[in-house]
Amino acid sequence: MDDGIIGHGQTMKQIKRFLLRVAGAGSTVLITGETGTGKELVARAIHNNSPRAAHPMICVNCAAIPENLVESELFGYQKGAFTGAAATQKGKFSLAHQGTLFMDEIGEMSLCAQAKILRCMESNEIFPLGAARGTSVDVRVIAATNRDPEALVDQGIFRSDLYYRLNVAHIHLPPLRERKEDIPDLVAMGIDHLNRQMGRRIQAISDEALTSLVHYAWPGNVRELNNLLESAFIQCESRRIEFCDFPKTFVKKINYAAGSISSEKDRLVLALAHADWNKAKAARTLHWSRMRIYRSMKRYNIVTPGSMP
């Protein structure tokens, strides 16, 4: 499954296995998780591994659609349907016919808009503005939100019937601070991507710089990490990213001091990463026994890269 999703911890391994089952099922999917955790990446992995992969995946940011344009954006309109409608225009549902419609931040839509989406999903039919009759569509809907959908239902700002319709397959993406063991791999992937994008030949990241990344809480998750690496690429003048290459705003936020890592999990992740996941070398670095390395890896659900079946 070549999906671009990086993560070898137990949680991400389970998510990847579930993705394959969901992809082939054809059911609606609800993806939850904080901003920047990779919800669109997961949606694309589902689409690309599904029977609909040969057809379009259309993405729509629900939070960016003004209320008075919801119907025309999602369902389209006929020529002359309103002032300025000089030609017939397809909506997102029609564009995604036989493919997938990814509705990001669906929790931001009004109750009225939610009702229209639910009707379309239940009937597999859309009514473009100005059309005399409905049009059948075959669309798989994948929705995402960075808010707690059950809390939104309890607050009366998200329809319970739409929630149940979307929540057939539910995928929750953990924040980066809960899977720091994946940071070295995410950094390596980011460096490789930026080298190709910028024509650079940066080969590595210093121990001090990597330590600072593991020490940080990452409120912006993977997106924030990728943006930070891009900033470091612009600043870096050698073939190795150093801590001093990070922007001053990041340096101030982390309040970094060498050797200040206090979390046992963080220290274990760093030792394994620096030892290229050689457990004996990591044990010597930490002055631990190899048995303690294995016990701690099991306790924190840390899995050696490449060990996923």
Question: What CATH number is given to the structural domain containing 39?
Answer: 3.40.50.300
* Same domain assignment for residues 149 and 239: no
Which residues does 208 contact at the CB level (< 8 Å), separation at least 6? 242, 243, 258
Instruction: Quote the tokens at residue 204.
Output: 């590595």
* Same domain assignment for residues 196 and 287: yes
Classify residue 5: in a domain, yes or no: no
Instruction: Say what the pLDDT of residue 190 is.
Output: 95
Classify residue 3: in a domain, yes or no: no
* Same domain assignment for residues 233 and 110: no
Instruction: Say what the pLDDT of residue 93 is.
Output: 96
- Among the candidates 174, 192, 223, a domain finishes at 174
Task: Check which CATH number belongs to the domain holding 208 and give it.
Answer: 1.10.8.60
Q: How many angstroms separate the CA atoms of 78 and 295, rounded?
A: 64
Classify residue 304: in a domain, yes or no: no
Query: pTM (2 decimals)?
Result: 0.82
CA-CA-CA-CA dihedral for 61, 192, 48, 59, to nearest 10:
10
Classify residue 308: in a domain, yes or no: no
* Same domain assignment for residues 33 and 77: yes
- Among the candidates 144, 174, 204, a domain finishes at 174
Classify residue 307: in a domain, yes or no: no
Q: How many angstroms separate the CA atoms of 185 and 13, rounded?
A: 14
The domain total for the chain is 2
- Among the candidates 174, 197, 228, a domain finishes at 174
Query: Please, which residues bridge with residue 204 across strands?
Result: 240
* Same domain assignment for residues 284 and 163: no
Classify residue 1: in a domain, yes or no: no
For 249, counting Cβ atoms within 10 Å of its Cβ (0-12 exposed, 13-18 middle, 19+ buried), the class is exposed
Residue 166 CA, distance from chain mean position: 18
* Same domain assignment for residues 151 and 184: no
* Same domain assignment for residues 130 and 234: no
Which residues does 223 contact at the CB level (< 8 Å), separation at least 6? 35, 36
* Same domain assignment for residues 163 and 186: no
* Same domain assignment for residues 135 and 210: no
* Same domain assignment for residues 137 and 217: no
Q: What are phi and psi for residue 58, nearest 5 degrees?
A: -105, 130
Torsion sign (Cα): 193, 196, 200, 202: positive
Low-confidence ranges of the chain (pLDDT < 70): 1-3, 255-263, 305-309
Q: Any idea how long the chain is?
A: 309
Long-range contacts at 225-232 (CB < 8 A, ≥ 24 apart): 225/176, 225/183, 225/186, 225/187, 225/190, 226/190, 229/187, 229/190, 229/191, 229/194, 230/194
Amino acid identity at 168: V
Q: List Cα–Cα distances, 304 to 148, 215, 259, 269, 294, in angstroms.
A: 32, 20, 24, 10, 11
Classify residue 267: in a domain, yes or no: yes
* Same domain assignment for residues 24 and 170: yes
The SS3 assignment for 104 reads: strand
Q: Which structural domain range is residue 149 located in?
A: 10-174
Condensed to tens digits (0 to 9), the pLDDT of residues 236-291 reads 988 999 888 888 788 777 754 434 455 687 778 778 877 878 999 989 888 899 99
Q: How many angstroms separate the CA atoms of 9 and 11, rounded?
A: 6
* Same domain assignment for residues 168 and 261: no
Classify residue 80: in a domain, yes or no: yes
Tokens 């340096």 sit on residue: 251
Instruction: Say what the pLDDT of residue 255 is.
Output: 52
